[in-house]
Amino acid sequence: MLLADCPRGTIAHIRAVTAAPAHRQRLADMGLYPGQHISVLHDAPFGTRIIVVHRQRIAIDRDTTCHISVDLTQKDPS
């Protein structure tokens, strides 16, 4: 599943990041690399996601979320 498709409340494990090497490095610098656990705090209009990784909130645009593959860990029931 892509991060772009994850609804609010999802907790996921990053499986792969398929962006260009420079973009992939920038994401890794922010803590977004395979093996990390993230949670989707908010799914804003036009595909923007606000996620939490390492207790930091990060806003990611739709184009970028389409390059991050995740495995769902759980979905918040609320």
* Residue (of 76, 72, 46, 44) closest to 58 by Cα position: 44
Torsion of Cα atoms, 56 then 61 then 67 then 68, to 10°: 30
- Would you say 28 and 58 are in contact if contact means Cβ atoms under 8 Å apart? no
pLDDT over 80 (residue 78): no
Render pLDDT for 18-34 as a digit per residue (tens, 0 to 9).
999 999 999 999 999 99
- Would you say 48 and 62 are in contact if contact means Cβ atoms under 8 Å apart? yes
pLDDT score recorded for residue 76? 58
- Which pair of structure tokens corresponds to residue 39? 């949670």
pLDDT over 80 (residue 37): yes
**Alpha carbons 29 and 51: distance in angstroms, whole number:** 15
How much is the average pLDDT of 3-27?
94
